[in-house]
Structure formats: structure tokens, C-alpha cells
Copies of this chain bind each other. A is one copy, B any other.
């Protein structure tokens, strides 16, 4: 359904979209660096808020707190699971430089007695992507994957089919089309390879920007599914490097896991834009249950 909406109505724009409204933070009067937000239930997977959505919320607060607008490198440690509802973000500026500034942010929610419980703690360095030189000397190549029309999203399953495992509220907000080569898990035949690839866009047609890249690196099904594992794969730590402002249009997200050991795995994500530029790299450490 989301697909139909995104292609037939007028696309949303950066600054006026579901993603922008749901990540908007409000400065708390009289408390510099403190922000309030009502976390939206629209970005949940099963009952938990997506870690990339939460990272974008923290990234939004830091863009306000720091003198630079663009996240260059953001390191997040996930402490406790977040739920839709009120939250407060407390920021701290560590250093303001000419080309880079560094700060930290913590997201808190509230226990039954009203006390704050920390959900995520982040350190990030921000800059201005538009001031970087155009030089590119890269050996990285875009992922090999079919065009979006030959990939599959949550809306492509026949109505008689059981719901895709992990399909959730967030599915309606994303235009996510998975490479059939990494979709075996959904058909009960995982490939055994630690790979997951998809075309990614926002369902309302809003183009990508550095903040929505923070969402995109953690929005695909876990590679663990293609490795034959099931269940929750909670992120311990996630670091994103934004390397370039993305061009308009959908992006390709390619995630690779090489080392599953001791109940942990890494997920390395690359995001490529419509101009074949590597616009973001990320790595996360996550826990898995080994059957």
C-alpha cells in the first residue's frame, strides 16, 4: 500500500514529511541543550522502536546543539529498549572547531516513578558536507543487485500469504525492496550467507538527507535471518559515517556480516546513492541467540 501512495501522490519534501515530523525535537525552555520529543509508534518493528529511527532523533538534536549541521560520524551505544511515547534528549558540546564539532547526546524515557531511564548514549562529530572537496579516489563499488522493480517489499506478498516475519508499523513508512538473492529467509530457505540488500526510500517520497541515512543503515531485516537464525538481534553499538550528501532518489543499502562468533555479530552497511556514490558506511555490533 505504501508503494502506491508514494508513487501516486505528490512526494513529500525534506523538512515536511513523516520522517521530519516524527524526528522533530523541541527545545526545552530554560534548559539549554535539552530537547523533548514524543517518539512515534510509526517506526516500530514488532513492539520496539527501530534503532535507526532513534539514531536520527538523536542526530536531529545534535544538529541543533552543535554549530555544524551534518553528522560525519555518529557512535551510539544502546542501553535499554525504547518504546513509543515521551522522551527527553540531553546534549553536551565537547568541542566546537572550525570544520568539525563534537558532542554527545543521551535519550531518556521515564520509569513508572517518573525517574529517567537512559536508552541510548551517542558521541558524534559534525561538519558541513557541502564544504568538502570533490576528490574521490575510491576502490569501493556499488552492490550488484537487480533494479527495484525486480525486488520485493512488504506490499508484494499475496494477501493469502502469511505476514513476512518482522513486518511491522515501520513497513508503511519505508519504500523497502529487498534483493531476491537475500530474501530466502522469508520463504523458509535462508541462503546461509551474511548478506542483506535493498532499495530504500521513504514511503512518502521524501528524498534522502544525512539524517535519514542514519535511519537507513539500520532499517533492513537482520543479516542473521539469512544465516538461518531467528528472533531479535539487538544492537549493542552502531557507528555511522556519512561521507557525502545523497542525491535525490532511492538509495541502495548493502549489509554484510562476516564474523558470527560467541553470540555476537557485526553488520557492515554501505549506502549508495543514485549517482553511484558511497554516501554512508556503518558498522554495528549486535547480539544473537545461537539456537
Contacts and interface: CB of A to CB of B under 8 A. Distances in A.
A237 B242 CA distance: 12
A84 to B, nearest CB: 21
21 contacts: A72-B236, A73-B236, A79-B102, A94-B118, A122-B123, A123-B123, A125-B236, A129-B262, A132-B264, A133-B290, A135-B261, A135-B263, A135-B290, A137-B227, A137-B261, A140-B258, A237-B241, A239-B239, A241-B285, A243-B262, A243-B264
A134 interface: yes
A148 to B, nearest CB: 24
B236 A237 contact: no
Interface in A119-154: 121-125, 129, 132-140
Interface of A: 72-73, 75, 77, 79-80, 94-95, 100, 102, 104, 106, 118, 121-125, 129, 132-140, 193-194, 227, 236-237, 239, 241, 243-244, 258-264, 266, 277-278, 281, 283, 285, 290
A237 B73 contact: yes
A281 B259 contact: yes
Contacts of A139: 193-194, 258-259
A239 B236 contact: no
A227 to B, nearest CB: 7
A266 to B, nearest CB: 6
Contacts of A263: 132-133, 135
Contacts of A129: 262
Contacts of A260: 135-138
Which DSSP category, helix, strand, loop or mixed, fits chain A's interface? Answer: strand
A53 B212 CA distance: 35
A94 to B, nearest CB: 5
Contacts of A122: 123
A291 B198 CA distance: 36
A243 to B, nearest CB: 6
Given A79-B94, A138-B261, A244-B262, 15 more contacts: A72-B236, A75-B123, A121-B123, A132-B261, A135-B263, A135-B290, A136-B261, A137-B227, A140-B259, A239-B239, A239-B283, A243-B261, A259-B281, A261-B278, A283-B283
A80 B101 CA distance: 11
A29 B134 CA distance: 52
A102 to B, nearest CB: 5
Nearest to A260: B137
A122 B77 CA distance: 11
Contacts of A75: 75, 77, 123, 237, 239
Nearest to A239: B239
Contacts of A94: 77, 79, 106, 118, 121
A40 B237 CA distance: 31
Contacts of A100: 236
